[in-house]
A and B are shown apart, each in its own frame.
Chain A
Amino acid sequence: DFVMTQTPLSLPVIVGQPASISCTSSQSLVHSDGVTYLSWLHQRPGQPPRLLIYKVSNRLPGVPDRFSGSGAGADFTLKISRVEAEDVGVYYCMQATQTPLTFGGGTKVEIK
C-alpha cells in the first residue's frame, strides 16, 4: 500500500498569513496513464470532507484561488496564500493512483 505522510500535524496560523502543508508518498504517484492522482481535501468538524485540489494542482470550481497545489512524483504541497478564518479544519492529502486509496494522517489548521 502507498503510505502518505503529512507534515505538520498541527498548523497554527495568523489570518492573512500564508500556510503550507506537505505530503509525501512512500512511492511515486505517477499512474501508468501518466497522470498523478494526488488530491487535497478539507474537513470541518461534523462535516464530510470537501475536495479542494485534484491531480496535484487543479482547483475544483468554486474553490478560492488562495488555495494552490504543487509537486511531482512523491512530494506534494498545499499552499494557502492568505489564510482566512473559514480555512480552519483538517486537511488531508489522498492518492488514487493505486487501490487501496490511501490518505495522509491529516493536518489541523487553527487560527493563532
Chain B
Amino acid sequence: QVQLVQSGGGEVQPGGSLRLSCAASGFTLINSNIHWVRQAPGRGLEWMAIIISGGGEMRYAESVKGRFTMSRDNFKNTLYLQMNSLRSEDTAVYYCAKPGRDRDGTSMGSFDVWGQGTMVTVS
C-alpha cells in the first residue's frame, strides 16, 4: 500500500528550528516528486516546496526560501524538512504529498497520496 507517514513537529519558540520527517512505503521516494503543503489553523492550503525525483532538484515558496531545506535519505526512503528561523506565521499543519500517475503514466498534476499531517506551533 502506497503511504506517507509523517513524524516530527511540536512546539518551538520564534527563531527556533524543527525537523519533519515523511517516510514512504509502497514506493521508492527517489522515483517520485514529493511536495510539502501547509495549512495554518482555520485557513486554506499553501504550497511550500517540491523535491524532484532522481537528482533531487528542490524548489521553495518565497515565504520559506532560505529558511527551510529538504533532504532525502534514500536508504530509509524518508524525506526531511529542516525548518530554521521559525516565525509565528509558520504555525500550521504540514503535509507531505505525492503526485499521482494517470493511466497513461503521465502526471495527474495533483496529489493522490497525502501524509497524515503534523502540527508545528511557533510561540
Q: Which residues does A use to contact B, with CB under 8 Å?
A: 35, 37-39, 41, 48-51, 54-55, 58, 60, 92, 94, 96-97, 99-106
Contacts and interface: CB of A to CB of B under 8 A. Distances in A.
B45 A96 contact: no
A48 B117 contact: yes
B40 to A, nearest CB: 12
A54 B100 contact: yes
Given A54-B100, A92-B45, A99 B109 contact: no
Majority-rule SS of A interface residues: loop
A103 B45 contact: yes
Contact of B109 (A55, A103, A104): A55
Interface residues of B, number: 24
B114 A58 contact: no
A5 to B, nearest CB: 12
Contacts, number: 66
A61 to B, nearest CB: 9
19 contacts: A39-B108, A41-B45, A48-B97, A48-B114, A49-B45, A50-B114, A51-B100, A51-B110, A54-B102, A54-B108, A54-B110, A54-B112, A60-B100, A60-B108, A99-B50, A101-B35, A101-B47, A103-B46, A103-B47
Given A37-B110, A55-B102, A60-B112, A48 B95 contact: yes
Max chain B Cβ within 10 angstroms of own Cβ: one of A37, A49, A50, A60: A49
B27 interface: no
A55 B108 CA distance: 7
Most buried by B among A39, A50, A105: A39
